[in-house]
Amino acid sequence: MRETVRGAALPAAGMLLALAAALLAMMTPAQVDAATATVQVGQQNGGSIAASQFNAASVVVTAGDTVHWTLFNGVHSVNAFIETTPGTPDWNSPTPVGASFDHTFAAPGIYTYYCSVHAQRTQADPANVDANIAAGAMVGKVTVIGVASVGGVADVLNGGGSAPTARASSTGGVPWTIAAAALLAVTAAAIVLRRTRARA
């Protein structure tokens, strides 16, 4: 009789624990692994042929993510619209030919940029960057959303050719999974405890 009760309780508790683990597994990649969004430089925005444009010209990432610009065709640059020191983009790619350029966006916000060979800095002004993207100008926009973040930004110049990482869909914080996982774990523990006491 004792064995029957125990046999029924433990699988139920085990199932709840498995569910809790699955929920936690769901949550972990979005919080731990920063994603990378790839932008083709010198490719038609929304297309696949060579053009003096960025593709995609407008990307949305989560704070902590990296944008990876990789040269598709031509001679271009990637210059930030923001100039903390006038005349000097806060970030840019000095040697874009045959190379790629990575920039990690630590803080939420809207960051615009332009190719200094084919566009004017003013065309990347956040106030009219969308219109200029639509008009086919070689300007781009990175919208950084989500989680609070502290610290600066980091640039990495690559030798080029490295395969870009596909961007995983990431929606930022998922607190409900934590709550659900915790609830399931507590329920499982309670079931085991009750059964253990019943047997004692």
Binding site for Cu ion (CB under 5 A): 52, 76, 115, 117-118, 138
For Cu ion, the closer of residues 52 and 93 by Cβ is 52
The token duo for 153 is 């930004």
Residue 9 or 138 having the CB closest to Cu ion: 138
- C-alpha span between 200 and 188 (Å, rounded): 19
CA-CA-CA-CA dihedral for 119, 122, 126, 132, to nearest 10: -40
- C-alpha distances (whole Å) from 189 to each of 39, 154, 179, 185, 200 are 48, 44, 15, 6, 17
CB of 102 to Cu ion, least distance (A): 18
Amino acid at the residue 118: H
| Helix, coil or strand: residue 121 | helix
Write down the least CB distance from residue 58 to Cu ion, Å.
17
Q: How far is the CB of 106 from Cu ion (least distance, A)?
A: 26
Residue 117 or residue 179: which is nearer to Cu ion going by CB? 117
Residue 180: partners with Cβ closer than 8 Å, 6 or more residues away: 20, 23
Q: Which is nearer to Cu ion, 21 or 117 (CB)?
A: 117
Element containing residue 70 per DSSP (H, E): strand 66-71
Question: Smaller CB distance to Cu ion: residue 42 or 64?
Answer: 42
d(CA 104, CA 61): 10
Minimum Å gap between C-beta 115 and Cu ion is: 3
Q: In what order do the strands lie in the sheet with 58-62?
A: 58-62, 139-145, 109-114, 79-80
Of the pair 38, 52, the CB lying nearest Cu ion is at 52
CB of 76 to Cu ion, least distance (A): 3
Q: How far is the CB of 138 from Cu ion (least distance, A)?
A: 5
